[in-house]
A and B are shown apart, each in its own frame.
Chain A
Amino acid sequence: MYDFSEQQIERYSRHILLQDVGVEGQEKILNAKVLVIGAGGLGAPVSLYLAAAGVGTIGIVDADVVDLSNLQRQVIHFTNDVGKAKVKSAKEKMLAINPDVKVNTYHTFLDSSNALDIISNYDFIIDGTDNFPVKFLINDACVMAGKPFSHGGILRFTGQTFTHLPGTACYRCMFKEPPPPGAVPTCSQAGVLGAIAGMLGTIQAAEALKYILGIGELLTNRLLTFDAKTMKFHTINTRKTDRCPICGTHPTINHLIDYEQAACELKK
Chain B
Amino acid sequence: MANHTLDITNEHCPMTFVKTKIKLAQIAKGDTLEVLLKEGEPLNNVPKSTSEQGFEVLRTEQVEGTTWKVIIKK
User: A residues bordering B, Cβ < 8 Å?
Assistant: 1, 4, 9-10, 13-14, 16-17, 19, 22-24
Contacts and interface: CB of A to CB of B under 8 A. Distances in A.
B14 A13 contact: yes
B19 A19 contact: no
Contacts of B17: 17
Nearest to A19: B53
Interface of B: 14-15, 17-19, 21-22, 25-26, 52-54
Contact of A9 (B22, B52, B54): B22
Contacts of B52: 19
Contacts of A1: 25-26
Contact of A13 (B18, B25, B53, B54): B18
Given A1-B25, A24-B25, A16 B18 contact: yes
Nearest to A22: B21
A10 B22 CA distance: 11
Given A19-B54, A23-B21, A10 B26 contact: no
A23 B17 CA distance: 12
Nearest to A18: B53
A13 B17 CA distance: 9
Given A1-B26, A13-B18, A16-B21, 8 more contacts: A1-B25, A13-B14, A13-B15, A16-B18, A16-B22, A22-B21, A22-B25, A23-B25
Contacts of A10: 15
B21 to A, nearest CB: 6
A1 B25 CA distance: 8
A22 B17 CA distance: 11
A23 B26 CA distance: 9
A27 B68 CA distance: 31
Which 4 interchain pairs have the tightest Cβ spacing?
A23-B25, A13-B18, A19-B53, A16-B18
Contacts of A16: 18, 21-22
A9 B26 contact: no
18 contacts: A4-B22, A9-B15, A9-B18, A9-B19, A9-B22, A10-B15, A13-B14, A13-B18, A16-B21, A17-B14, A17-B18, A19-B52, A19-B53, A19-B54, A22-B21, A23-B22, A23-B25, A24-B25
Contacts of B25: 1, 22-24
A4 B14 CA distance: 17
A248 B52 CA distance: 45
Nearest to A13: B18
Contacts of A14: 14
A168 B21 CA distance: 36
Contacts of A13: 14-15, 18
B7 to A, nearest CB: 15
Contacts of B53: 19, 22
A95 to B, nearest CB: 25
